[in-house]
Amino acid sequence: MSVPVLQTERLTLREYRLADFPSHAAIWSDPRTTHYFSSNPYVFDEEICWLRFQRNFGQWHMLGYGYWGIEHRQTGRYIGAVGFFNAKRAMDIAYRDAPETGWLIAPDFQNRGLASEALVAAMAWGDMHIEAPESWCMIAPQNLASQKVAARIGFRPAQDARYKGEAVLTFRRPRGGV
């Protein structure tokens, strides 16, 4: 499957490129990125970042959806990722096999509305092309900025859960955002 290219006012959502990996790994090695995710430093080492990078690329071919690399149109830089995936997370939630939505913006590009801009485009594509009746996301309770982004895109609180020993909040969004 070819990965669709989506354009927004300031972003291009496109297929990952091998040349994106150093920037991708740098984003995940930045404590400003990881402070809401896990206290285990090995969770974001280069090896794990590489495996996740490949997973996110490969899911397009296996599931018909996946992550886009986010390119900042003005600078041409890879600044993050957005999209859908299925990680088969070991979580006790009824919707764990629905497409999970995720987003990541490089710390130097945060607080500019870019996550919301990327998510609006990704969710519009998903509403038209993914057959699942809903998607979900998982956010750390302390990450109020991501919770606000999720709410703007139509995600609603679902249930508190635990993932790898950490408390998380889950949110659900019906197809079409209704």
Instruction: Answer yes or no: is 121 within a domain.
Output: yes
**Domain count within the chain:** 1
**Are 101 and 67 a contacting pair, CB within 8 Å?**
no
What is the arithmetic mean of pLDDT over 154-161?
96
pLDDT range class, residue 38, cuts 50, 70, 90: low
Whole-model pTM over 0.85: yes
What are the backbone dihedrals phi and psi of residue 133, each rounded to the nearest 5 degrees, phi first? -75, -15
Q: For residue 20, give the CATH number of its domain.
A: 3.40.630.30
Instruction: Answer yes or no: is 87 within a domain.
Output: yes
What is the arithmetic mean of pLDDT over 68-93?
95
Instruction: Answer yes or no: is 118 within a domain.
Output: yes
- CA dist 18 and 112 (Å) reads 26
Q: Which of 70, 96, 72 is nearest to 14 (CA)?
A: 70
If you average pLDDT over every residue of the chain, what do you get?
A: 92
Q: Which of 114, 124, 126, 166 is nearest to 143 (CA)?
A: 166
Instruction: Answer yes or no: is 143 within a domain.
Output: no
Instruction: Answer yes or no: is 23 within a domain.
Output: yes
**Are 177 and 154 a contacting pair, CB within 8 Å?**
yes
pLDDT range class, residue 50, cuts 50, 70, 90: very high
Instruction: Answer yes or no: is 154 within a domain.
Output: no
What is the arithmetic mean of pLDDT over 113-141?
96
Instruction: Answer yes or no: is 147 within a domain.
Output: no
Instruction: Answer yes or no: is 50 within a domain.
Output: yes
Domain range holding 23? 6-133
